């Protein structure tokens, strides 16, 4: 009898607590990329803590965040997924393109949605092929187009030479095809400059840039590669206003080591920066001052904290949508997926949350898991030590990007034996 | 002069400078391997730890503040003072001496006469432990390191070469500083080993442990000494690399740059580390410049190892390494 009781108790303890809404956080607080992983993870968790403390969760159901350390290592990321998916996980956000690629078939088979905001497999925007993967509000190819659009907004791009300094990995190579197409369309010369992991030494690359004198440099970097690139650009006196990074090359971590010399550096973003929003008052009151912050509470308003917080906000809004659609406050991963597919972010909704103008408006659908692809350009003010948006949220060149998405997703569907379509 | 030739000259000069930075990391490996036969996997992490400690001391950061705050509910982060760079370097060197003593006292003293692979595994454990301690002590945010070294293009070289060749060469002031520091460091190491009692004892231990013991040299002392010197070399490497990228945890990966240098120069030779560093630096930069564009670029990481392997085919002990002859 005792054994039976024990066995039942053990099974109950091992079972997911269905009353909670479970959001795993595949974070990296250790290793070479920890400085970037920590603020994102803090922002992600703090937003859910705020909802628990202020609102009692989402729709009255408490939120449970399960954090698992990946160390930005793909194998560990997959282990984290396997270890947490049985806990009732509603959505995964692995913050790594490498982990994303490994998880795409797994989440599809397990029926759990995955959100890869501004990273991962770009063609996952095609929801008819990638039923469980979402990459709203913008993707790598949108980013490449935003950068070119910004350069064009400052003058004629025809005949110019534009260098792409990129992390020599699947992530860094993502924009090449888009930029090649855009170079044909707009008549600029594309110069490719790969940097091997981790990017601690980039003398050759920046000598090449100094010798070949490109007019503009676009960077797709991550971690130490960003800091070294900005230092080296300053060393060769490359004009910072002509140097623009993707959103993963646009955190305070990337520019602070170069000091004043980083002044004027630009980076793309799909959300706003700083902490001048009503929501941050609540974050301080209910989370930081209450001693419930995930970290030291000193990252609020930084680019990566805001991104993590924004990711959590989009997840909670999708969960609310799922609750409305299903009429049930307790969600399954399938309901969450449907909620993500029906998500619509409007300015009115963001203002109500306490984040007016924080992100672009967009609408997700079965055909379009990537939103509208809107993005903005931010510029670093070294004296004030802050980023400021210098453009509004603007569109990307869908005439170039959409055919590439269709082509890549069709290739994936053929390879994986997927019958594309909306169910 | 043809433009491509001038570009190649600029690449070679920068390769030499990069080679000095690689050699600085490799030196630490050589010192420990020569004196104790230990391949110190933790050398890169030692550079990271030293740089973290230096910035922490300079900024008056309270070590382990996150743990203290979590336990006692306090809000302590900084002492409120700023320590001048030179004093902070001296204090950090002191920390590295204490670290050397702890490593010797609590790890390697218990592993005397163990197989080299056991000692190597111990240094792997030490590397991860030290990385964790560094994180707990100083946090994992990226820290700006400014000890007053000049950075950016050297205007004099730029102007002079422009006047001479019509093209101004780029040489980073930080690289020039690193070269000067490396020259002084190597000269100091040579003078120490040639003209001091401890230096001669160190050489004796490097030549033959048992013979050194038989004439009354304390192996424990020598190993603490050599780990301390390697700690100081790691501090210098940490300053130079940390000034380029900020002090962050990827700094430990600079050890990867030292491995081909060691393979080429030999594990037991200080001149080998320097010459090896220079050859690797120039070789990889020149290859990237000449061949890189034909093969898609990003050749430096793998080409350094190919170059080292080529040398190994002809001199398995490295350029300056000791030839090991085992008689049966």
Q: Which secondary structure element, helix H or strand E, spans residue A191, and what is its range?
A: strand A189-195
Q: Give the distance from residue A273's alpha carbon to the nearest chain B alpha carbon, in angstroms.
A: 19
Q: Is residue A409 in a domain?
A: no
Domain ranges of chain B: 3-314
**Contact state of B153 with A235 under an 8 Å Cβ cutoff:** yes
Question: Nearest CA to A409 among A117, A87, A82, A133?
Answer: A133
Is there a cis peptide before residue A137, judged by omega within 30 degrees of 0? Answer: yes
Is residue B8 pLDDT above 50, yes or no?
yes
Whole-number percent of chain A with pLDDT over 70 = 95
Q: What is the model's pLDDT at position A297?
A: 84
Closest residue in A to B5 (Cα–Cα): A211
pLDDT of A289: 93
Q: Quote the minimal CA–CA distance from B316 to chain A in Å.
A: 28
Q: What is the pLDDT of residue B60?
A: 95
Among B236, B192, B187, B228, which Cα is nearest to B89's? B236
pLDDT at position A5 over 50: no
Output the pLDDT for position B119: 92
| pTM given for the model | 0.90
Question: Contact, A208 vs A193, CB < 8 A?
Answer: yes
A29 to chain B: closest CA residue: B140
Of the candidates B15, B170, B253, the beta carbon closest to that of A198 is on: B253
Average pLDDT of chain A is 93
A182: domain range? 140-269
Q: What is the DSSP letter of A155?
A: S
- Round the average pLDDT of chain B to a whole number and report it: 91
C-alpha dihedral sign at B235, B154, B165, A239: positive
Q: What's the ipTM?
A: 0.89
Same-domain pairing of A164 and A180: yes
- What is the domain-level CATH number for residue A123? 3.40.50.2300
Q: Inter-chain contact A200–B7, Cβ cutoff 8 Å?
A: no
Helix residue spans in A86-216 (DSSP H):
97-110, 140-153, 170-173, 176-186, 203-212
Does A207 contact B241 at a Cβ distance shorter than 8 Å? no
Q: How far apart (Å, rounded) are the C-alpha atoms in residues A333 and A132?
A: 10
Residue A422 has a pLDDT of: 83
Mean pLDDT along residues B101-114? 90
Q: Which residue of A has its CA nearest to B17?
A: A203
Cα of A253 to nearest chain B Cα, Å: 6
Domain contains A307:
yes
- Give B34-73 pLDDT, tens digit per residue: 888 899 999 999 999 999 999 999 999 999 998 898 888 8
Residues A256 and A300 in one domain: no
Please say if the pLDDT value at position A12 is more than 60.
Answer: no
The pLDDT value given to residue A32:
84
- Do A91 and A240 fall into the same domain? no
Answer yes or no: do A83 and A148 share one domain.
no
Q: Which residues of A touch B170 (CB under 8 A)?
A: 207, 210, 235-236
Say yes or no for a CB contact (<8 Å) between B248 and A224: yes
Q: What is the pLDDT of residue B324?
A: 65
Cβ contact, residue pair A34, B170, below 8 Å: no
Beta-carbon separation of B170 and A257 below 8 A: no
Q: How far apart are the first and last CA of chain A?
A: 48
Tell which of A215, A245, A269 closes a domain: A269
Alpha-carbon distance B278 to B261, whole Å?
9
Q: Which H or E run includes A69? A: strand A63-69
The yes-or-no verdict on residue A384 having pLDDT over 90 is yes
A257 shares contact with chain B (CB less than 8 Å)? yes
Q: Which of A269, A290, A311 is the last residue of a domain?
A: A269
Q: What is the pLDDT of residue B206?
A: 81
Q: b/e map of B3-32 (b: 16 or more CB within 10 Å)?
A: eeebbeebbebbbbbbbbbbbbbbbbbbbb
State whether B10 and A207 contact (CB < 8 Å): yes
Q: Are residues A130 and A29 in the same domain?
A: yes
Do A299 and A212 share a structural domain?
no
pLDDT of residue A10: 47
Domain count, chain A: 2
pLDDT value, residue B114: 86
Q: Which pair of structure tokens corresponds to residue B30?
A: 């050589």
Cβ atoms within 10 Å, residue A292: 15
Is there a domain that residue A386 lies in?
no
First to last CA, chain B: 60
Cβ-nearest to B257 among A34, A201, A208: A201
- Whether residue A15 is predicted with pLDDT greater than 70 in this model: the reply is no
| pLDDT tens digits, one per residue of A88-123 | 999 999 999 999 999 999 999 999 999 999 999 999
What is the residue-wise DSSP string for B193-230? HHHSHHHHHHHHHHH-HHHHHHTT--HHHHHHHHHHHH
Among candidate residues A329, A325, A271, the one with its CA nearest the CA of residue A303: A271
Cα-trace Rg, chain A: 21
| 3-class DSSP assignment, residue A55 | helix
Q: Is the pLDDT of residue A16 over 60?
A: no
User: Do A82 and A182 have their domain in common?
Assistant: no
Q: Are strands A114-115 and A63-69 parallel, antiparallel or unpaired?
A: unpaired
Residue A265: pLDDT over 50: yes
Tell me: do A192 and A312 sit in the same domain: no
Kindly state the tokens that stand for A148.
């070119």
Give percent helix, percent strand, percent coil of chain B, each to the nearest 5: 75, 0, 25
pLDDT digits (tens, 9 = 90+) for A33-87: 899 999 999 999 999 999 999 999 999 999 999 999 999 999 999 999 999 999 9
Structure tokens at B266: 């030999």
pLDDT at A1: 40
Residues of B in contact with A33 (CB under 8 A): 250
Tell me the three state secondary structure of residue B297.
Answer: coil
Would you place residue A14 in the very low, low, confident or very high pLDDT band (cuts 50, 70, 90)? very low
Instruction: Give the whole-angstrom CA distance, residue B278 versus residue A58.
Output: 61
């Amino acid at each position: 009898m005792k054994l039976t009781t024990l066995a039942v108790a053990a099974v109950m303890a091992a079972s997911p607590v269905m009353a909670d809404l479970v959001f795993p956080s595949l974070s990296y607080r250790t290793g070479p990329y920890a400085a970037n992983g920590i603020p994102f993870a803090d922002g992600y968790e703090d937003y859910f803590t705020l909802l628990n403390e202020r609102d009692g969760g989402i729709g009255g159901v408490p939120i449970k965040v399960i954090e698992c350390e990946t160390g930005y290592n793909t194998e560990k990321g997959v282990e984290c997924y396997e270890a947490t998916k049985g806990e009732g996980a509603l959505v995964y956000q692995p913050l790594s393109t490498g982990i994303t690629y490994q998880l795409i078939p797994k989440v599809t088979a397990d029926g759990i949605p995955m959100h890869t905001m501004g990273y991962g497999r770009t063609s996952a925007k095609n929801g008819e092929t990638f039923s469980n993967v979402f990459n709203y509000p913008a993707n790598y190819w949108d980013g490449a187009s935003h950068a070119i659009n910004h350069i064009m907004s400052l003058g004629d791009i025809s005949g110019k030479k534009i260098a792409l300094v990129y992390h020599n990995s699947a992530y860094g190579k993502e924009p090449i095809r888009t930029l090649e197409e855009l170079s044909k369309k707009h008549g600029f010369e594309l110069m490719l400059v790969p940097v091997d992991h981790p990017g601690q030494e980039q003398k050759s690359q920046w000598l090449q840039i100094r010798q070949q004198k490109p007019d503009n440099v676009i960077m797709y970097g991550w971690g130490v590669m960003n800091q070294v690139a900005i230092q080296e650009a300053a060393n060769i006196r490359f004009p910072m206003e002509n140097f623009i990074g993707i959103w993963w090359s646009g955190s305070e971590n990337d520019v602070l080591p170069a000091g004043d010399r980083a002044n004027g550096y630009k980076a793309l973003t799909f959300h706003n920066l700083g902490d001048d929003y009503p929501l941050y008052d609540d974050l301080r009151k209910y989370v930081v001052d209450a001693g419930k912050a995930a970290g030291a509470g000193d990252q609020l308003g930084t680019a990566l904290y805001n991104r993590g917080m924004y990711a959590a906000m989009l997840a909670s809004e999708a969960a609310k949508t799922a609750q409305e659609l299903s009429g049930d406050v307790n969600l399954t991963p399938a309901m969450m997926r449907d909620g993500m597919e029906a998500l619509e972010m409007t300015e009115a909704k963001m203002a109500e949350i306490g984040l007016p103008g924080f992100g672009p408006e967009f609408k997700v659908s079965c055909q379009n898991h990537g939103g509208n692809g809107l993005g903005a350009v931010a510029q670093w003010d070294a004296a004030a030590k802050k980023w400021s948006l210098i453009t509004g949220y603007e569109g990307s060149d869908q005439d170039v990007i959409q055919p590439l998405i269709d082509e890549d997703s069709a290739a994936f569907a053929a390879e994986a034996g997927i019958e594309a379509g909306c169910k | 002069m043809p433009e491509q030739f001038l570009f190649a000259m600029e690449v070679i000069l920068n390769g030499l400078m990069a080679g000095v930075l690689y050699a600085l990391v490799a030196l630490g490996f050589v010192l420990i391997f020569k004196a104790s036969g230990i391949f110190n996997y933790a050398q890169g992490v030692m550079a990271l730890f030293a740089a973290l400690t230096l910035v922490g001391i300079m900024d008056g950061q309270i070590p382990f503040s996150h743990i203290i705050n979590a336990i006692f509910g306090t809000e302590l982060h900084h002492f409120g003072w700023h320590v001048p760079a030179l004093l902070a370097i001296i204090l950090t060197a002191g920390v590295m001496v204490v670290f050397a003593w702890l490593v010797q006292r609590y790890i390697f003293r218990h592993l005397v006469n163990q197989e080299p692979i056991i000692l190597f595994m111990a240094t792997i454990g030490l590397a991860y432990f030290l990385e964790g301690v560094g994180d707990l002590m100083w946090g994992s945010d990226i820290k700006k390191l400014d000890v007053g070294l000049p950075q950016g293009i050297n205007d004099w070289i730029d102007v002079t070469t422009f006047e001479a060749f019509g093209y101004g060469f780029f040489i980073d002031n930080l690289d020039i500083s690193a070269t000067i520091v490396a020259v002084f460091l190597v000269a100091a190491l040579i003078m120490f080993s040639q003209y001091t009692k401890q230096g001669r004892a160190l050489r004796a231990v490097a030549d033959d442990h048992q013979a050194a013991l038989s004439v009354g040299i304390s192996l424990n002392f020598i190993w603490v000494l050599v780990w301390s010197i390697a700690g100081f070399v790691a501090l210098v490497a940490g300053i130079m690399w940390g000034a380029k990228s900020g002090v962050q945890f990827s700094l430990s990966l600079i050890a990867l740059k030292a491995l081909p240098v060691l393979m080429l120069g030999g594990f037991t030779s200080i001149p080998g580390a320097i010459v090896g560093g220079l050859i690797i630096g120039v070789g990889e930069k020149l290859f990237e410049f000449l061949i890189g564009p034909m093969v898609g670029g990003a050749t430096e990481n793998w080409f350094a190892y190919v170059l080292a392997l080529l040398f190994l085919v002809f001199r398995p002990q490295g350029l300056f390494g000791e030839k090991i002859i085992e008689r049966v």
